[in-house]
Each structure stands twice: as structure tokens, then as C-alpha cells.
Structure 1
Amino acid sequence: MLDSQKINEISNKIKDVVSSSPLGDVEKNLNALLRGVFTKMELVTREEFEVQAEVLRNTRQKLALLEARLAELEAAGSGAQQES
């Protein structure tokens, strides 16, 4: 059975071979290509999505409060007009 030192040596040799071969460049180019495609598709990260979802929740809550306040003011205004 191989010990961890031998496994590490083999792993390091594989990394050296891959990094010195065109395969390393292919990985970088593929990564850049995928980023470009995702940018064109206008995809967002999960973190960006969560931030915007929180902004939307807060906006909806404020809108509900403003609608309730407007209804109160309209009711008070119509009550004052009826008294006149």
C-alpha cells in the first residue's frame, strides 16, 4: 500500500505536468469562455440574488405601510369633509 508521502509526490508530479502542458491553458481559456457566456446570459450569483430579494422584501413592506397610512389619511379626509 502507498503511504501518504508517495501519494503527495505523485500528486505533485501530476500537477507539475498539467501546469507545464497546454492543458493548463485550456482550463484557463475554458474558464474565461464560461464567464463570458454567463455574463451574456446576465446570470447573477446566489449572493446577488439574495441581496436583491431582501431589498424587494423591504420595499414591499414599506409599500404596505404607506398604503395603510394613505388609507387612514383618506378616511380622515373624507370624514372631515362630511362634517363641513
Structure 2
Amino acid sequence: QNYPNPFNPTTKISYSIKKEGLVSLKVYDVLGNEIAALVNEEKPEGIHEVEFNAANLPSGIYIFTFQANGIIKSKKMTVLK
């Protein structure tokens, strides 16, 4: 999940994994274009947090997609300027 939401210009995205593994966390616009790859590396089990800065992006809805250990989750977040 991310907090705050809506946000301007930064938000923190937190996630947890139950075992060590490759983690991918990407941000997309509503058209499916990749905006940012925030995480793409091995991470240990536990709770992690990454900051997303949208200072150069227009207001709107964005989707972040988390993948790890066979799990894929997507959530909406809103940039409000």
C-alpha cells in the first residue's frame, strides 16, 4: 500500500514478503505505459518501503504493480497537484 494517497509529490509504498526472493515494483499510467521501476532486485523476508517521487508527472491515477514469490498485486494511487 502507499501513504499518503492522494499525494504530491511523494508517497511511500510499503510491502512485505514472507521469504527472500526477487521483487519487482513498477509504476504505470492508466494507459499501461511504464513510468518507473522502483525495485527490481533480491530482497530479504520482511517489511520494506520505497519512496515514489511524482514531481515531474501530471495529476492523475497511476498503478503500481508488485511481484514477488509468485504473487502479483496492483493498486491505484493518485497524484493530486
Q: Give the shorter-chain TM-score range.
A: under 0.3
- TM-score for the superposition, normalised by structure 1: 0.13
- Which structure carries more relative contact order (alpha carbon 8 Å, separation 6+)? 2
Q: Which has the higher helix share?
A: 1
User: Which is higher, the Rg of structure 1 or of structure 2?
Assistant: 1
- TM-score for the superposition, normalised by structure 2: 0.13
Q: Which has the higher strand share?
A: 2
